[in-house]
Chain A
Amino acid sequence: MNNTTSIKRGRGRPVGSTSFVNVSLADLDQFIGTKSAIPVSRVWLQKMNLTVQPITRSINEASDTTDTTPKVEFKITKL
């Protein structure tokens, strides 16, 4: 029987680790133009008093990428 009261270990983000690093705009400018969209943290935007657009979730139907066109079998021989 499972012990549901035990604390799960080894999951989630460890304390102190972070996904973000600091980089200067000048450095970024070398790689991206002024009109490029770059992903930033929503929390950071809120701290900067910028409006955050609500996230709209959209699920794209997985399109069947398998090529169903039947392949013709043929062989070319140079005589």
Chain B
Amino acid sequence: MSRFAELVGQADVKKKLDFYLDAHEKSRKFPFLLLTGAKGMGKTEFAKETARGLKAADGAPKAFLEINCGTIKNAQVFFEQVFAPVIQGNEITVLLDECHALPKDLMTVLLSAFNTEKTEIKQVTWREGMYEFNFKKQTFMLATTEPDRLFAPLKDRLTHIDFQTYSVSDVAKIIQKILPDVSFKGEALDRIATTVRGNARSSVQRAKQIEMYCETKAKKDFGCKEWDDLCSKIGINPSGLNNTEIQILRALKDRGDCSLNMLSAITGMSRSSLQRDSEVFLLQKGFMKIEGQRKLTVAGAKVLEQVKA
């Protein structure tokens, strides 16, 4: 477990990655990983930390190459701009980030290349060029927030590692880790932790806001009073609710049960956006339920009372 000591939470992910890294130390084999999870769950950080454990022949960690797949327009540019100059022949760990955005032709190439049952060296001919994947030297990891959009046969070749939402205590640890000099008083840290929606990246952002507040006020102690002050200054709502979500809860309270169309009309947001961006969180937190119509729950009414008008 010491490999991932620097990273907070995701115990299940750590266990799996540790297992594969142990196997790599003995056999030099490493599966093609598919890291899945919502934004801000730490996929890239874990990939980088895993890469630290993937050693080259000389014992040093391999270089880590992070590619934004949304910028790869086709297989040709991938081979010309990235594979030939950076990957081919080198000992390197490659993270294909947002891999659901890979162009179809490259997904097909990878599908063929990742078939390593017989050999770990695969030669791919693409247009005029011949390229060599050497999986003894190169490790490929893929990450996405939308695994359903990945080419199904390619997805089947990958070993899935799914990330989970961070618990309140994990979030508190992240914030305290970033701000070791700040002394949190009373329930302040727990209250802060409930506002980042279990998201590690948001936890880092929240820590930065607290740091700015403490620097501005020249304080090292941060209690509930300071937290309330910061919330009112920069508009942080209970449970990290955003304004659209509050609008939905208010509409349900004032008008009673509503259809999705009605909520769309009230908020001015599209139905799909409401479902994807707002309702999922409200349902997850138990602030709303769907029984034909959208209904406000007791927890929803309670959190709404905490929101200042």
Q: Mark B70-102, 1 if CB is under 8 A from A, else 0.
A: 011100011001100010000000000000000
Interface contact A75-B66, CB-CB below 8 Å: yes
Task: Give the tally of cross-chain contacts (CB within 8 A).
Answer: 44
B residues 1-48 in Cβ contact with A at 8 Å? 48
Interface contact A79-B67, CB-CB below 8 Å: no
**B62 CB within 8 Å of chain A:** yes
Interface contact B77-A74, CB-CB below 8 Å: no
**A25 CB within 8 Å of chain B:** no
B residues 37-70 in Cβ contact with A at 8 Å? 48, 51-52, 61-68
Interfacial chain A residues near B51, Cβ < 8 Å = 79
Interfacial chain B residues near A75, Cβ < 8 Å = 65-66
User: Looking at the complex, which one of B52, B63, B72 makes contact with A72 (CB distance below 8 Å)?
Assistant: B72
B62's nearest neighbour on chain A, judged by CB, is A79
Interface contact A73-B67, CB-CB below 8 Å: yes
**A57 CB within 8 Å of chain B:** no
User: Looking at the complex, which one of A69, A70, A76 makes contact with B65 (CB distance below 8 Å)?
Assistant: A76
Q: Mark B124-137, 1 if CB is under 8 A from A, else 0.
A: 00000000000000
Interfacial chain A residues near B77, Cβ < 8 Å = 69-70, 72
A residues 30-79 in Cβ contact with B at 8 Å? 69-79
- Measured CB to CB, the residues of A under 8 A from B are 69-79
8 A-B pairs closest in CB distance: A79-B61, A73-B71, A73-B68, A74-B67, A70-B73, A77-B64, A72-B81, A75-B66
